[in-house]
Structure 1
Amino acid sequence: MRLTLMWEARAAQGRGAELLEWARARVLPYEPLRREILRAPQDRVLVLTWWEAAAFDAELPELPEPEAELITRPVHRWRFESVETS
Structure 2
Amino acid sequence: MTVALMWEARAVDGRGEELLAWARAQDLPRAPLRRETFRAPQDRVLVITWWDAGLDAELPELPEPDGELVDRAVHRWRFESVDTR
Is the pair's TM-score, using the shorter chain for normalization, greater than 0.5? yes
Q: What CA distance in whole angstroms lies between the structure 1 residues aligned with 2:16 and 2:56?
A: 31
1:3-39 Cα deviation digits (max 9, x unpaired): 0000000000110000000000000000000000000
Query: Partner residue of 1:17?
Result: 17
Q: Percent same amino acid at aligned positions?
A: 72
User: Under a length normalisation based on structure 1, what TM-score does the superposition of the two structures give?
Assistant: 0.98
Whether 2:81 is the aligned partner of 1:82: answer: yes
RMSD of equivalent CA atoms:
0.4
AA matched with 1:83: V
TM-score scaled by length of structure 2: 0.99
**What SS does the aligned partner of 1:74 have?**
coil
* Aligned residue-pair number: 85
4+ residue stretches of structure 1 with deviation over 3 A? none
Are residues 1:7 and 2:7 paired?
yes
Shift of 1:56: 1.1
Q: How does 1:1-86 map to 2 (within 5 A)?
A: 1-53=1-53, 55-86=54-85
Letter of the structure 1 residue corresponding to residue 52 of structure 2: E
Structure 1, unaligned runs of 5 or more:
none
Consecutive unaligned residues in structure 2, runs of 5 or more: none
